[in-house]
Amino acid sequence: MQDVQLKHEDLGLTNEDVLAMFETMLMARRLDERMWLLNRSGKIPFVISCQGQEAAQVGAAFALDKNKDYIAPYYRDMGVVLHFGMTPKELMLSAFAKAEDPNSGGRQMPGHFGQKKNRILTGSSPVTTQVPHAVGVALAGRLQKEDFIAFVTLGEGSSNQGDFHEGANFAGVHKLPVIIMVENNQYAISVPVERQLGCAKVSDRGIGYGMPGVTVDGKCPLQVYKVVREAAERARSGEGPSLIETVTFRLTAHSSDDDDRQYRTAEDIAEGKAKDPIVLFEKYLQDAGIMTESLRTEIEERVMAEVNEATDYAEAAPYAKPEEALKYVYAPVDGGDV
Ligand SMILES: Cc1ncc(C[n+]2csc(CCOP(=O)(O)OP(=O)(O)O)c2C)c(N)n1
Ligand SMILES: [Mg+2]
């Protein structure tokens, strides 16, 4: 894992770019925090958090082409889908399971992202199914002579699932333009990483599939941006897939239905919170002279105004009509409207 402090200028990023990265990370965090409050006050049924993984998600998303590439995100990827164009309002509609939710019309649990216009592939609940899906999209792009990349994410626990190995192998054999990013938050629900993997690092698995594997500090968006951009360049120039592992802390329980005090020590949680990627990146921006106190206040106010607006809108929005329960579930036999 690289520890050197990268500078954004060395990556060709402007001050505006890194401020936009910070704002997207903060938006993901504030939306997630609001969702917990809504859940605990009985207004929404379920939350599965991005907290602790925003830097990895946003750093990676910024390294892709959001107007061209396809993404197959997993349930924690609020930072990825925000950058690809899903709005806070749309994410809140999903949290409230309202009819207007673009992901599934309020039918799936939150975190099952899917939005055709932004090339976000819909995901299934069985973890890791998105890997062969993304590889298939990359193969389709190859056959159609398009130059988009398929970017897929999953947790480290999910990298033990068969779909990961089948998808990675197929991508390696056919040198497909795929980036597989494993967000290693060191837990799979209650199972710590040392009880999940026989190898030292998830990225060690890349060699078995003929692709480079790299592990980076997922708390730093710049480090993740750098390796994903390199992987994107490889993919676009026909050199094939890459495996990236981003190491982070999961700052919340697995989900709103989990109590992590049953299996995690207070010290472990405190260690994660002391290395909060949002705080670390804010410090980087301050030290670089980019983030001033007044700018920080302005960003916070802008983000919170949008979170509040999204919450109010989604809370007041109607649920899907009972008679439309099967809409989007079955294709119509007559080829008519679904
Ligand atoms: C095939 C399958 N097995 C089990 C589950 C239940 N499940 C949901 S999330 C999860 C843990 C996944 O851990 P990891 O891949 O590390 O992702 P994280 O939640 O830590 O981000 C499990 C076991 C599932 N959804 N699908
Ligand atoms: Mg995990």
183-198 pLDDT, tens per residue? 999 999 999 999 999 9
Distance CA 49, CA 76 (A): 6
The closest residue, in CA terms, to atom 26 on ligand 1 is 126
Residue 3 in this model has a pLDDT that exceeds 60? no
Cβ within 8 Å of residue 311, ≥6 positions away: 34, 38, 92
Q: How far is the CA of 219 from the centre of ligand 2 (A)?
A: 15
- The number of CA neighbours under 13 Å toward the Cβ of 237 is 7
% of residues, the chain, pLDDT over 90 = 93
Give the number of other Cβ atoms within 10 Å of residue 226's Cβ: 20
Q: Which ligand is nearest to the CA of 185?
A: 2
Q: Which of 91-100, 101-110, 207-216 has the lowest mean pLDDT?
A: 101-110
Residue 256 CA from chain centroid, whole number: 18
Q: Does residue 263 have an active-site annotation?
A: yes
Q: Which ligand is nearest to the CA of 129?
A: 1
Ligand 1 surroundings by CB, under 6 angstroms: 76, 125-127, 154-158, 161, 185, 187-189, 250, 254
Question: Which pLDDT belongs to residue 4?
Answer: 59
| pLDDT grade for 250, boundaries at 50, 70 and 90 | very high
Smallest CA-to-CA distance from 32 within 14, 51, 8 is with: 51
Antiparallel, parallel or unpaired: β 178-184 and 242-247 = parallel
pLDDT at residue 128 in the model: 98
> What residue spans define the domains of the chain?
8-319
**Range with lowest mean pLDDT among 1-5, 147-151, 182-186, 288-292:** 1-5
Give the mean pLDDT of 236-241: 97
Q: How far is the CA of 299 from the centre of ligand 2 (A)?
A: 30
Least distant ligand from the CA of 75 = 1
Tokens, residue 299? 């960003």
> Which among 158, 160, 190 is the best mutation to test ligand 1's pocket, defined by most ligand atoms within 8 Å of the CB?
158
Unique residue bearing structure tokens 């929404």 = 44
Amino acid letter for position 128? T
Distance 199 CA to ligand 1 centre (A): 19
Report pLDDT digits (tens) over 141-163: 999 999 999 999 999 999 999 99
Any idea what the Cα angle at residue 272 is, between residues 229 and 296, rounded to 5°? 65
Q: Which of 254, 296, 313, 319 is catalytic?
A: 254
Q: Which residue has the higher pLDDT, 118 or 123?
A: 118
Q: Which residues pair with 184 in a beta bridge?
A: 247
Q: How much is the pTM?
A: 0.96
Beta partners for residue 245, in sequence order: 182, 215
Task: Using the mean position of ligand 2's atoms as its centre, give its distance from the Cα of residue 275 in Å.
Answer: 17
Give pLDDT, residue 276: 98
142 assigned to active site:
no
The pLDDT of residue 2 is above 50: no
Averaged over 80-88, what is the pLDDT? 98
Per-residue pLDDT tens over the stretch 9-32: 999 999 999 999 999 999 999 999
Closest atom, ligand 1, to C-alpha of 161: 1
For 8-319, CATH gives 3.40.50.970
| End-to-end CA gap in the chain | 48
**189 CA closest ligand 1 atom index:** 11
Contacts of 263 (CB under 8 A, 6+ apart): 190
- Name the band, by pLDDT with cuts 50, 70 and 90, for residue 337: low
CA distance 242 to 12: 22
**How far is C-alpha 175 from the chain's CA centre?**
24
Residue 330 falls in the annotated catalytic set: no
| 191 SS3 class | strand
Neighbours of 42 (CB within 10 A): 7
Antiparallel, parallel or unpaired: β 187-188 and 191-192: antiparallel
Q: Side by side, which strands form the sheet with 178-184?
A: 70-72, 150-155, 178-184, 242-247, 213-217
Task: Using the mean position of ligand 1's atoms as its centre, give its distance from the Cα of residue 97 in Å.
Answer: 22
pLDDT at 244: 98
Our CA dihedral for 61, 203, 135, 162, rounded to 10 degrees, sits at: -130
Quick one: pLDDT at residue 333? 75
d(CA 333, CA 210): 43
Of the candidates 116, 69, 85, which has an alpha carbon nearest to the alpha carbon of residue 236? 69
- Ligand 1 atom nearest residue 53's Cα: 21
Q: Average pLDDT in the 49-73 region?
A: 98
Ligand 1 pocket test, candidate residues 127, 245, 251, 264, most atoms within 8 A of CB = 127
Distant-in-sequence, close-in-space partners of 302: CB < 8 Å, separation ≥ 6 = 23
